[in-house]
Structure 1
Amino acid sequence: MKVVDIFKHRSEAVSKYQEELMQKVSPSVREYWEGIRHKANNRAFFAWLNEVNDQAVNEPSIEPVAKVVEKVDLAPVQAKPSAPAIEMKPEAETLYNELQAQIGEVMHKGDWIMVDQDRINQFGAVTEDEQWIHTDPERAEQESPFKTTIAHGFLTLALLPRLTDSVDPDNNLFPTAKMVVNIGLNSVRFPYPVKSGNQVRAVSTLTKVTPIKKGLEIEREIKVQIEGVRRPGAVVTSVIQLHF
């Protein structure tokens, strides 16, 4: 029997247990085994085997593979202890259970507000972004593909607290929380420009609720809708924390 055929026969026997073994061996042994597999897929490996075992006839040595298999510790891997559950205050736990049942649902739909030229100009002055596409209606009518000025994308983002009623003390979405902290935005897109004179509103969908040491972390998808336009002016993933 040829060396190549013997190695193939041995490899088929070992591969039966390979997946289980790889879950139990140490990283160094796993790395060594992967090196052997890499060589097995290379013609140079067979040339190396023939050189080492050129005197073998019936039972050539394939010590590297055999020794790796023999030295594998088959003792069961000890599972890592799981992290202790976070203890929630009663108010946080009650709200958590309520919100879990609302995941995937619209949790807030705001009122329409006007984005007029005066609002755009004020934002441009504060941020020192007074490009003509935002602040020069006459030039925009002549040169812009939108035929009018458009709001800054960051103006749309800056309106989110107002659009989601997060700053309205009479319309608090989370009245049991002592404090709401804005953590940030995981993603931001502006599918369509908000033109001067457009009405916009925000629709918030609950996507995730996670207990934290201080209370709850809430993830929402917020779409800024433009009245009369199919595409939204912004789509963001917002993350806030509620402290109790």
Structure 2
Amino acid sequence: MSKLTIRSLAELEACVGQEMGVSELHTITQEQINQFAAATLDFQWIHVDAERAQVESPFKATIAHGYLTVSLLPYLWQQIVAIENLKMQVNYEIENLRFNQAVTVNSQVRLRASLLSVVNLRGIAKTRVGVTLEIEGSKKPAYTGVVTFLYHFQE
């Protein structure tokens, strides 16, 4: 899968209103869930206790932390678009994030993204991206929302 390369504010502005693409599939493993639990100190059994989850969980398996799936946004976005000629990129905001479906262990997810708007703030591109985290084989996405990145382009 080839990704789109953006080299300037003008090139970014030209993409407003377009679907930017879809990332590769990423498998959510129990190891990744456990590492996220350790990093965030969130050891709720529904995430880390596979035996209990099989018996007591309505999903019959452990599920990824919602924030784990959100934390994949920059990684998956970079599979869709390469923004070059930057001084710096800042994760700025997430709006209207709605978790729609739990992501069970070993599910494959991918990001679908559309460029909603770009505002030039004195040379800094405030970029709003509509995001949907799709789950392979599921009609409902894991989440939908709008993420804002600030891109500081080189002169």
Which band: TM-score by shorter chain?
A: 0.7 to 0.9
Selected match of 1:197 from 106, 109, 113 = 106
Query: Residues 103-148 of structure 1: CA distance to partner in whole angstroms, max 9, x if unpaired?
Result: 2221131111110111101111111111111111111111111111
3-state secondary structure, aligned to 2:86: coil
Shift of 1:219: 0.3
Cα distance in 1 for partners of 2:114, 2:82 equals 13
Selected match of 2:23 from 110, 115, 138 = 110
Counterpart of 1:207, as a letter, is: L
Output aligned runs, 1:1-244, within 5 Å.
Answer: 92=8, 95-96=9-10, 98-165=11-78, 173-244=82-153
3-state secondary structure, aligned to 2:78: coil
Counterpart of 2:61, as a letter, is: T
Counterpart of 2:128, as a letter, is: E
Query: Residues 150-178 of structure 1: CA distance to partner in whole angstroms, max 9, x if unpaired?
Result: 00000001111111127xxxx86221332
Greater fraction strand = 2
What do you get for the CA RMSD once the two structures are aligned? 1.8
Q: TM-score, normalised on structure 2?
A: 0.87
Between structure 1 and structure 2, the one with the greater Rg is 1
Higher relative contact order (CA 8 A, sep 6+): 2
Where has structure 1 moved over 6 Å in runs of 4 or more?
A: none
Work out whether residues 20 and 81 of structure 2, in 8 Å CA contact, stay in contact via their aligned partners in 1.
Answer: no
Cα distance in 2 for partners of 1:172, 1:140 equals 37
Aligned length: 147
Cα distance in 1 for partners of 2:12, 2:81 equals 15
Counterpart of 1:237, as a letter, is: V
Cα distance in 1 for partners of 2:114, 2:127 equals 11
Cα distance in 1 for partners of 2:125, 2:109 equals 29
Work out whether residues 184 and 239 of structure 1, in 8 Å CA contact, stay in contact via their aligned partners in 2.
Answer: yes
Shift of 1:214: 3.2
Work out whether residues 108 and 164 of structure 1, in 8 Å CA contact, stay in contact via their aligned partners in 2.
Answer: no
Query: Tell me, which stretches of 5 or more residues in structure 2 are unaligned?
Result: 1-6
Q: TM-score, normalised on structure 1?
A: 0.57
- Sort the Cα spacing of 1:172 and 1:107 in 2 relative to 1 into closer, same or farther, 3 A: closer
Shift of 1:188: 1.0
Cα distance in 2 for partners of 1:194, 1:215 equals 35
Work out whether residues 13 and 118 of structure 2, in 8 Å CA contact, stay in contact via their aligned partners in 1.
Answer: yes
